[in-house]
Structure 1
Amino acid sequence: MKKILATALALSVVFATRAQEIPERKHDGYKPHGEKGMHHRRPGGMDFKQLNLTDAQKEQMKTQKESFRKQMDELKKNDNITVKEWKTRMENLRKEQKSGMEKILTDDQKKQLEKMKADQHSKMEGRRKQGAERMKQHLGLTDEQSSKLQQSRKETGDKIKSIRENKSLSDEKKREEMKEVMKKQKDQLKSVLTEEQLQKMKEQRHHGPHKGGKKPDMSKETI
């Protein structure tokens, strides 16, 4: 049943990947998550066209973006710092960018931006629920099974988040604890689903119908 547990994949992809061996130096092959294409996104991933920026604001935004890009380029070229130092400096740059953006926007625009963020979150939640319902129907889950799996996923996410934020743990210890958490979630999944449901999940991942030839990401269809 190795790697057929769809509800565990969402977390394993995000967290297990980050739990891989971290090079001591930035130039040892480490590429921070989200580095590629990061210059093409606004803070929070919002489309600022809806804010009706003035020409002056657009120019200020452009200047700020160019400054941020320049500083990021310089940071990426610095091969004499550790991954931890790289992350700290990158986070500080992003905070400065966010602060600078807030100074450019008016109070009304800030309120509109918060509304846009809330709307985006609502849409994501809607898609999540639709995906959960599709999986529930496909596997023939009972309400009790669905509830147990949802609770298991939430508990797993909370535990992994706590481990990652625990600064007293070494990277090696974090990897060990996260592996143990993921193992327990897989065991819980096996105890909740029937053999038939586990087999259906496996078949869906490898042979299910895909629109446009693209395999659906079952890991995002949270139960």
Structure 2
Amino acid sequence: MFRNLNRGLAIAVLSVTLGAVAIPSIVAAQSSSTPSSQTTTQQHHRGGGWKQLNLTDAQKQQLKTLHENTKQQVQAVLTDDQRAKLAAAIQSGDRKGAWKSLNLTTEQKQKIRDIRKSSKEQGLAILTPEQKAQLAQMRAEHHRK
């Protein structure tokens, strides 16, 4: 169960780090996801974006640590009931519905936004200028689709 939860949160962190628009839609839990954010999540789930960046082993480890820290911070914002609902929904494969079903408070949404923003900034700081340029190019290509 926790393996799938970790995988779901990893996808979220990867999406944030790569600048995807998936996180605002997750935090805005009541709104529906756009086709472009679904495509982005699917692309990142396959790992295509990371492979193009040619991350070093050290960068991969730093990003993994960042992911774990971010996951812990987000989990700390949720109530026990929300964590249980999230784990059950992710286990069933319903990631989108999982976040919507949590009925996050305005305060929780803001805290999660702040955590994600900080995580994104820290993730970008791990990248080299060349990798950041590659990332910007990947974003531009994505937005043209």
TM superposition score normalised by structure 1: 0.35
1:1-223 equivalent positions in 2, closer than 5 A: 6-7=17-18, 9=20, 12-13=23-24, 15-18=26-29, 128=45, 131-132=46-47, 134-165=48-79, 171-207=105-141
Alpha-carbon distance in structure 1 between the residues aligned to 2:67 and 2:111: 16
Pair 142,10 (structure 1): closer, same or farther in 2 beyond 3 Å = farther
* Unmatched 5+ stretches in structure 2: 1-14, 33-43, 82-103
* Unmatched 5+ stretches in structure 1: 19-29, 34-126, 209-213, 216-223
Asked if the contact 1:12/1:182 (under 8 Å) is kept, the reply is yes
Equivalent position amino acid for 1:135 in 2: G
Asked if the contact 1:145/1:192 (under 8 Å) is kept, the reply is yes
* Structure whose alpha-carbon radius of gyration is higher: 1
Alpha-carbon distance in structure 1 between the residues aligned to 2:116 and 2:141: 25
Alpha-carbon distance in structure 2 between the residues aligned to 1:197 and 1:145: 11
Alpha-carbon distance in structure 2 between the residues aligned to 1:17 and 1:183: 14
Shift of 1:7: 4.0
TM superposition score normalised by structure 2: 0.50
Shift of 1:183: 2.0
Asked if the contact 1:8/1:186 (under 8 Å) is kept, the reply is yes
Pair 6,186 (structure 1): closer, same or farther in 2 beyond 3 Å = closer
Alpha-carbon distance in structure 2 between the residues aligned to 1:154 and 1:11: 18
Alpha-carbon distance in structure 1 between the residues aligned to 2:69 and 2:20: 15
